[in-house]
Amino acid sequence: MPDYRKNILSSSRFFHPASFDSTFSRREIPLPSGLVVREYRMTVPLLAGRSLLFFSDTHIQAGTVRSIAETPGRSLRWNGTGWLTGALREAVARFSPDYLLFGGDLITYSSLYPEAMEMMAELKGTRGQFAVYGNWDKRRRSWLPFRVIEGLYEKAGWKLLVNESVSDGALELYGLDDYKIGIPRIYPLGPKKGFSLLLSHNPDAVAALPPEELERFDLALCGHTHGGQIRIPGFGALKASSRYWKRFEYGAYQNRKNGMKMIVSAGIGTTLLPIRILCPPEIILLKFLQPA
């Protein structure tokens, strides 16, 4: 079985389509908290009526409260967890998702796990909560043993997926280990029975999957890039944390060969510079619909 981190496959299999077909559409919903919801709709008869919320890259530091009132899309700074907890609680209450998914990079320092898990315990999907590791979660093994981190997630009501899948009838969810520091693998799965969703912190891991493994999935949800944090009109991110640079910086993608779709979220938090310009903190809302 390949180590995806050592293989650079053709990233050109994924592209930004000028527009998606009628089975996949998007709109933007600004929330009073300053979060922006990117709502996607997919026609999936077996899951019609269900929805999920995906958020990523909270990077909780000494705090994550927005200290200066700003218009979404402008510069934002973070200084505490009060704003973040309230903003996510508001979004979950408003959209009542069946599934709540987290894409990794929860904290900046291990001393913040108690506060972070108190926040996570408040967030519930009606059918479950699932998460994957990010590179910040795994970058210093001396922080906490992984079994302790998994126990913290479990106590908060979340299932941390590390190269494993869970199934809820028509929905199959597979969570990959982190691409940069973990060892991502797709282990053999049984026959496909419904909609198959891949949760990966880093889009580079999705791009590196062999075609025979990738073709099983209908959609991948990723974070990690932060959308660049600073974006310029007509150019996009000045910098993106990807071995493919700007190719997977942000947005919706489609695989040229099998039609699989991928969403790369700008996430919520920041690293290096505590600022976002023309790249507001966001979460993803995905609604499943019946055919028109």
* Residue 15 domain-assigned (yes or no): no
Contact 45, 196 (CB under 8 A): no
Find the domain containing 215 and state its range. 20-289
Return all residues near 56 (Cβ < 8 A) that are at least 6 apart. Answer: 102, 103, 104, 105, 134, 201, 222, 223, 224, 265, 267, 268
With respect to residue 220, please indicate whether it lies within any of the assigned structural domains: yes
- Residue 5 is assigned to a structural domain of this protein: no
Give the pLDDT confidence score for residue 80 in this predicted structure.
41
Q: State the average pLDDT over residues 94-113.
A: 92
In a domain, 161, yes or no: yes
State the average pLDDT over residues 106-115.
84
Q: Is residue 11 part of a domain?
A: no
**259 inside domain:** yes
Q: How confident is the model at residue 145 (pLDDT cuts 50, 70, 90)?
A: confident
Torsion of CA 136, 142, 145, 148, to 10 degrees: -70
Total number of domains constituting the chain:
1
- Percent of all residues in the chain with a pLDDT value above 70, rounded to a whole number: 87
Whether 14 is in a domain gets the answer no
Q: Is residue 80 part of a domain?
A: yes
CATH number at residue 131: 3.60.21.10
